[in-house]
A = this chain, B = another copy of it.
Amino acid sequence: MKPDGFNPSPPDAGVGDDIYALAERLFPICRSITGNGVRQTLDILSGHVGLERREVATGTQVFDWTVPREWNIRAARITGPDGRVIVDFADCNLHVVSYSAPFNGTLSLQELKRHIHTLPEQPELIPYRTSYYAETWGFCMAHNRLAELPDGLYRVEIDSEFKDGSLTYGEYLHRGLTDREFLLSAHICHPSLANDNCSGLALLATIARHLRSRRTRYSYRFLFAPGTIGSLAWLAHNEAGTGRIDHGLVVSCAGDAGGPTYKRSRRGDAYIDRAMAHVLSRESKATLLDFWPYGYDERQFCSPGFNLPVGMFQRSAFGTFPQYHTSADDLQFIRPEHLASSFRILMDVIDIVEGDWTPLNLFPKGEPQLGRRGLYAALGGETSTGLSSIALLWVLNLADGNHSLLSMAERSGLSFTEIAAAASLLAEHGLLADAAFATA
């Protein structure tokens, strides 16, 4: 379907600051796979774009899994032999292992250590740990602080609770002209980790807000759900509708200085894989990775029973940067310019998905005479339209009904933007028809 002219996304001055400001607001909240932290986060995101929120009751079966009890935590601390507070959840929510059971007791240092997680090789950082499906408790702290603790009795208080409640996720559907969908998904279950994934949440909410005013062919579904169990709950609830998903991206770690990185869908040659490869071919440090079954929610979307065309976008690939899953993944680690770059990349992909069509050359025998239409200039120069002649010639040459604009960009080595602009211009001059209608 030929779109009404080619209208690439407008420039985005200041968008990096906007995304950063949103990530900053999300950062302090203690999120987990269930509980009020997720709800608070969805509240803030709803201030940007109206989310539909869904609560899935504890005990609900989702495929092979069961929604766990809801977990909330109010406070937690360790007090030392001298009465001084050693570790306090109020200082940093990474200090408590996520889904820690309530506890109140006094332990020897030796006993306590069995519940303490540190990073001996990054001794100043606090690790991020979870224990979702095995009931236990634990604290995380800097290895150097642990090493300084004297023998003696330590008082441990964890004011958390498990209850029959629900798992929460939010979604926003931008309705396009068709019900074919582009799924954009970010996990919402990590606490104070800026890149992983306040950055992804803020980026997707900002893209959603930008799309609101835009007339699109595709419908865009934004999903903010807890990792694994949240995406499974969404899939279970929307199983019949997954056939509408033509493209999808899982987004996380979108704000650091590395990458960009794209991990292909399980299919490996889905349209989204080609479109991302094309956009990233313009980035000097981009990395393309083949699918492997570890990572974020692409694991679920790409499980064999769904095999959806969903890839993953990141800047630095998860697990490859030293700040990953530590207290160093903080608000200094992400920068507005990197968030803006991620925004630009995803909007470029959306522009491809929106702007692609398959033209048919109406003068396919020989070249049409571009000169008398004011469309021809010396190669390397520009026409009066600002377009290089070579883009026009490529479009005319490949407009046999078998090449979409993206195919043309891939074969020519020109950017999708140049190809799309050339096709628009040629269509305006009556040289191209839309193959989708011309074949009737």
**Using Cβ atoms and an 8 Å threshold, which residues of chain B touch A321?**
none
Query: Does A349 sit at the interface, judged by CB under 8 A?
Result: no
Verify B363–A398 contact, CB threshold 8 A: no
A residues 287-317 touching B (CB-CB < 8 Å): 292-294, 299-300, 302-307
Q: Nearest residue in B to A290 (C-beta to C-beta)?
A: B411
**Cα distance, A306 to B396, chains bound together (Å):** 13
Verify A303–B65 contact, CB threshold 8 A: no
**Using Cβ atoms and an 8 Å threshold, which residues of chain B touch A293?**
390, 393-394, 396-397
Stretch at the interface among A95-103, A112-120, A366-374: A366-374
A interface with B by C-beta (< 8 Å): 62-65, 133-134, 228, 231-232, 235-236, 239, 266, 292-294, 299-300, 302-307, 319, 361, 363-369, 371-372, 379, 389-390, 393-394, 396-400, 412
Q: How far is the CB of A167 from chain B (nearest CB, A)?
A: 14
A366-B65, A367-B299 are contacts. A372–B133 as well, Cβ < 8 Å? Answer: yes
Partner of A235, one of B363, B366, B396: B366
**Using Cβ atoms and an 8 Å threshold, which residues of chain B touch A399?**
304
State the main secondary structure of chain A at its contact with B. loop
**Cα distance, A390 to B293, chains bound together (Å):** 7
Verify B397–A65 contact, CB threshold 8 A: no
- Copies in the assembly, this chain: 3
Partner of A303, one of B369, B390, B397: B397
The 7 closest A-B pairs by CB, nearest first: A305-B364, A305-B365, A293-B397, A304-B400, A293-B393, A64-B368, A304-B364
Verify A64–B363 contact, CB threshold 8 A: yes
Q: How far is the CB of A422 from chain B (nearest CB, A)?
A: 12
Q: Nearest residue in B to A365 (C-beta to C-beta)?
A: B305
**Cα distance, A292 to B65, chains bound together (Å):** 54
Q: Nearest residue in B to A242 (C-beta to C-beta)?
A: B365
**Using Cβ atoms and an 8 Å threshold, which residues of chain B touch A134?**
371
**Using Cβ atoms and an 8 Å threshold, which residues of chain B touch A292?**
390, 394, 412
Verify A303–B266 contact, CB threshold 8 A: no
**Cα distance, A361 to B305, chains bound together (Å):** 9
**Using Cβ atoms and an 8 Å threshold, which residues of chain B touch A302?**
397
**Cα distance, A364 to B304, chains bound together (Å):** 5
Task: A303-B366, A305-B366 given; name 19 further pairs at CB < 8 Å.
Answer: A64-B366, A64-B367, A228-B367, A231-B366, A232-B366, A235-B366, A236-B365, A292-B394, A294-B379, A299-B393, A300-B366, A302-B397, A303-B365, A303-B396, A304-B364, A304-B396, A305-B363, A305-B364, A319-B379
Q: How far is the CB of A33 from chain B (nearest CB, A)?
A: 13
**Cα distance, A367 to B65, chains bound together (Å):** 9
**Cα distance, A127 to B181, chains bound together (Å):** 56
**Cα distance, A335 to B94, chains bound together (Å):** 59
Q: How far is the CB of A35 from chain B (nearest CB, A)?
A: 20
Chain B CB count within 10 A is highest, among A361, A365, A393, A394, for A365
**Cα distance, A389 to B295, chains bound together (Å):** 12
Verify B63–A303 contact, CB threshold 8 A: no
Q: How far is the CB of A81 from chain B (nearest CB, A)?
A: 33
Q: Nearest residue in B to A397 (C-beta to C-beta)?
A: B293
Q: Nearest residue in B to A65 (C-beta to C-beta)?
A: B369
A304-B397, A304-B400 are contacts. A63–B390 as well, Cβ < 8 Å? Answer: no
